[in-house]
Amino acid sequence: MNEQVTSRPDSAAPGAPTTDVLLTAEVFDGEQGCIAQARALADRFLSRLVAEWLAVLGEHTRSDLMLAVSELITNADRYSHGPYMLELEGNAQRISVTVYDSSTALPVLYSPDPARLGGHGMEIVVALCDRVTAERVPVGKRIRAEFELSS
């Protein structure tokens, strides 16, 4: 497992804003079970964020974040040609879910259409998150979904 974690330093002044974050990342190769593994990584990350950073998760934050992870990993698995990486970053104020994959094709956001088969992944992610960005990067593309937390 390629996992990387950064924890809050003990020297942070109480109540002072910090740029330090809890960070974890894992690379997936598209093998069966990757989506479940990504969701498990996100669940462990949220548990640590609550326990160590005293983050307050709203009533639907955990389920919304898990669904966003599922949709973003599913898209990376379906549309990229190679491994992809899930990166989770957060503190007591916000969480970001970032997926890097090898495809340079940016996602298409279709107009809502309940009769359309498929193509709803990014529509779901946009509806769940406070901010979504997609951009090309040297390895392909990066899609970041951000969640603002209660304080």
Angle at 42 between CA 62 and CA 145, to 5 degrees: 75
Q: What is the pLDDT of residue 18?
A: 53
Q: What is the pLDDT of residue 151?
A: 58
Q: What is the pLDDT of residue 11?
A: 42
The pLDDT tens digits along the chain (151 residues) read 333 333 333 444 444 445 689 999 999 998 889 999 999 999 999 999 999 999 999 989 999 999 999 999 999 999 887 799 999 999 999 999 999 999 999 998 888 788 888 778 899 999 999 999 999 999 999 999 999 997 5
Q: What is the pLDDT of residue 117?
A: 81
Give the contacts of 148 (CB within 8 A, at least 6 positions apart).
93, 94, 130
Scored b (16 or more CB within 10 A) or e, 69-108 reads: bbbbbebbbebbeebbbbbbbbbbbebbbbbbbebeeebe
d(C-alpha 54, C-alpha 10), whole Å: 14
The domains found in the chain, sorted by start residue, are 23-148 (3.30.565.10)
Give a three-class secondary structure readout of 38-49.
HHHHHHHHHHHH
Q: Are strands 84-90 and 94-101 parallel, antiparallel or unpaired?
A: antiparallel
